[in-house]
A = this chain, B = another copy of it.
Amino acid sequence: MAAELSPHLLTEKHRPTLDRALDAIRSRAYWSPHPEHPKAYGEGGSPGSLGAADGKAAFDAVLNTRIDLGQPGTDGWTGGEVSPYGPELGVEYPHADPDVLIPAMRAGMPAWRDAGPETRALVCLEMLARISARTHEFGHAVMHTSGQAFLMAFQAGGPHAQDRGLEAVAYAYEEQIRAPRTADWSKPQGKRDPIELHKTFTAAGRGISLLIGCNTFPTWNGYPGLFASLATGNPVLVKPHPRAVLPLALTVQLAREVLTEAGFDPNLVALAAERPGEGIAKSLAIRPEIKIIDYTGSTAFGDWLEANALQAQVYTEKAGVNTIVVDSTDDYRGMLSNLAFSLSLYSGQMCTTPQNLLIPRTGITTDIGEKTYEDVVGDIAAAVTGLLGDDARANALLGALVNPEVRARLEKAAQLGEVALTSREVANPDFPEAVVRTPLIVKLDGTKPDDESPYLSECFGPVSFAVSVDSTADAVELLRRTIRDKGAMTVGAYTTSPEVEGALVDVCLDESAQLSLNLTSGVYVNQTAAFSDFHGSGGNPAANAALCDGAFVSNRFRTLEVRRQR
């Protein structure tokens, strides 16, 4: 093949990055090749990297256009995204006939398989590098589909998403080379000649991988599955959330360009945009060609996929109820400001945002004296109010509500109990149509949890519950029940007591949840760092997979052996 991206060039460009990523997932020390600061892009960034102005211009240029991916089976065009900030995006995407597109996607599988794990990984790294170079453009695309404020959209939708994609590639690569490419096997036979076999081992993808994207984090939640499947030899069909197509359509476009330049079939990555109300995820998910599904979204549909798409490996991230246990702290102000930020970021519309703050009715011990339950709740509310007092800062932190359902839920939640902090409407001078709301905090009694307790359901959005409990021991037990029955992407706790810490660790190990202890400065319970932190555990009802571990990649391919007598 006369590929522009030769294996040699790919190795030179990306093998060092792959090696660093492999080191990072083993050491789990801090590392990222994707800068977080917007100024790191453009002049002085990677070749072709777009700076702030160019990135914005690129985004503006794609608005009101048709993105023609050149996919087989395109039977029309669809679109209709409206930014949570107000504007219609006006972008049209190809609508696919799956009976044509899906068989065409399989055609490139053998060559992609035969390329081997290293070339596949390096091609994926080239895709990620091109995405990285356009991080500013992706930032705007994520902002105007998710409602995240620009800086968050830039970071979470850009470098952090790219990190998670790269992490998945590293895991996929490492998993596939656990068996050697060849082995010579010689079994002694006493005085007779040994029996000798020559063996080859090939990592082969399973079939088409379906990515069902989400509205809030189209790239961050999409890239791990996309790149894990592609790196393990599977074509990937990307079915974005109808409200968040653009970031994934741009991703598919870049991926197809890179595949072509590297001499592979571009149809190894394709887009399945849907018409309004079409609901194609369900019919795609149970097609026999679909062997892998990655999904982020509601528990109901996630459970449906797990129960019905039995022909596929299904990786789901669903709803959960995240808890913070407040027992004691030696940095009360640090705790308050850390929690205020966690509750406010992206208006609580993260699967990792804390929902239930479990606070003993008897109060807590802090570095500045005993604090009653009322003190703690009031001080958290005040910290949020202080953090978001300035409208510009509030807009930069909160972003916009992603859809009307979140707004409706927020309004209803104020009826659930005594309101400790009222949700405030914030005006966005740049986007008057954006619905911007500060977090609501509602006081609830956690003494006798039952199935009707509002704090035992996910209330997705800027809503938290200050749940009073009789004691820290009761908080720990409520935490256990919450994780076991409802799942949790994150658990946080504040305590200076080794006994309480031990009990919290035990609960999280028993019930399979990731625990953050005593965060008071620049790390927040809702943020995880690729290469070091696991996102979710895969062991409680909130998700059946973690990002990223061996289990996330090992079933996306099979190792096939050919043995020959020598």
| A residues at B contact (CB < 8 Å) | 25-30, 109-110, 113, 175, 178-180, 183-189, 195, 197, 199, 201-202, 204, 206, 306-307, 310, 505-506, 508-510, 512-523, 529, 532-534, 537-539, 546, 549-551, 554-555, 558-565
For the complex, give the distance between the alpha carbons of A512 and B25 in Å.
29
| Distance in Å: Cβ of A231 to nearest Cβ of chain B | 15
Question: B184, B185, B195, B514: which contacts A521 (Cβ < 8 A)?
Answer: B195
| Distance in Å: Cβ of A232 to nearest Cβ of chain B | 11
For the complex, give the distance between the alpha carbons of A5 and B186 in Å.
36
Asked if A201 and B551 sit within 8 Å, CB to CB, the answer is: no
What residues of chain B lie closer than 8 Å to A513, measured between beta carbons?
560
Question: B187, B204, B518: which contacts A564 (Cβ < 8 A)?
Answer: B518
For the complex, give the distance between the alpha carbons of A202 and B512 in Å.
10
Asked if B554 and A187 sit within 8 Å, CB to CB, the answer is: no
Question: B188, B197, B520: which contacts A565 (Cβ < 8 A)?
Answer: B520
Give me 10 A-to-B residue pairs in the complex whose CB atoms sit less than 8 angstroms apart, sorted by A's number: A25-B178, A28-B179, A178-B549, A206-B539, A505-B562, A515-B560, A515-B561, A534-B559, A537-B560, A550-B550
| Distance in Å: Cβ of A558 to nearest Cβ of chain B | 4
What residues of chain B lie closer than 8 Å to A506, measured between beta carbons?
110
What residues of chain B lie closer than 8 Å to A519, measured between beta carbons?
565
* Majority-rule SS of A interface residues: mixed
Asked if A516 and B28 sit within 8 Å, CB to CB, the answer is: no
What residues of chain B lie closer than 8 Å to A26, measured between beta carbons?
178, 180
What residues of chain B lie closer than 8 Å to A512, measured between beta carbons?
204, 206, 558, 560
Question: B307, B520, B539: which contacts A310 (Cβ < 8 A)?
Answer: B307
Least CB separation from A192: chain B residue: B522
Asked if A28 and B306 sit within 8 Å, CB to CB, the answer is: no
What residues of chain B lie closer than 8 Å to A30, measured between beta carbons?
185-188
Asked if A532 and B199 sit within 8 Å, CB to CB, the answer is: yes
| Distance in Å: Cβ of A303 to nearest Cβ of chain B | 8
Asked if B178 and A562 sit within 8 Å, CB to CB, the answer is: no
What residues of chain B lie closer than 8 Å to A554, measured between beta carbons?
549-551, 554
| Distance in Å: Cβ of A291 to nearest Cβ of chain B | 9
What residues of chain B lie closer than 8 Å to A197, measured between beta carbons?
523
Asked if A516 and B178 sit within 8 Å, CB to CB, the answer is: no
Asked if B206 and A563 sit within 8 Å, CB to CB, the answer is: no
Asked if A522 and B189 sit within 8 Å, CB to CB, the answer is: yes
Least CB separation from A510: chain B residue: B110
Asked if B564 and A517 sit within 8 Å, CB to CB, the answer is: yes
For the complex, give the distance between the alpha carbons of A509 and B557 in Å.
11
| Distance in Å: Cβ of A355 to nearest Cβ of chain B | 20
Least CB separation from A562: chain B residue: B515
Asked if A187 and B539 sit within 8 Å, CB to CB, the answer is: no
For the complex, give the distance between the alpha carbons of A26 and B179 in Å.
6
What residues of chain B lie closer than 8 Å to A204, measured between beta carbons?
509-510, 512, 539
Q: A560-B508, A560-B509, A565-B518 are in contact. Are A183 and B28 (CB under 8 A)?
A: yes
What residues of chain B lie closer than 8 Å to A110, measured between beta carbons?
506, 509-510
Q: A29-B186, A306-B310 are in contact. Are A558 and B546 (CB under 8 A)?
A: yes
| Distance in Å: Cβ of A493 to nearest Cβ of chain B | 10
Asked if B550 and A180 sit within 8 Å, CB to CB, the answer is: no
What residues of chain B lie closer than 8 Å to A199, measured between beta carbons?
28, 532-533
| Distance in Å: Cβ of A445 to nearest Cβ of chain B | 28
What residues of chain B lie closer than 8 Å to A201, measured between beta carbons?
28
For the complex, give the distance between the alpha carbons of A557 and B565 in Å.
38
| Distance in Å: Cβ of A319 to nearest Cβ of chain B | 17
For the complex, give the distance between the alpha carbons of A175 and B175 in Å.
10
What residues of chain B lie closer than 8 Å to A187, measured between beta carbons?
30, 529
Question: B185, B195, B533, B546: which contacts A28 (Cβ < 8 A)?
Answer: B185
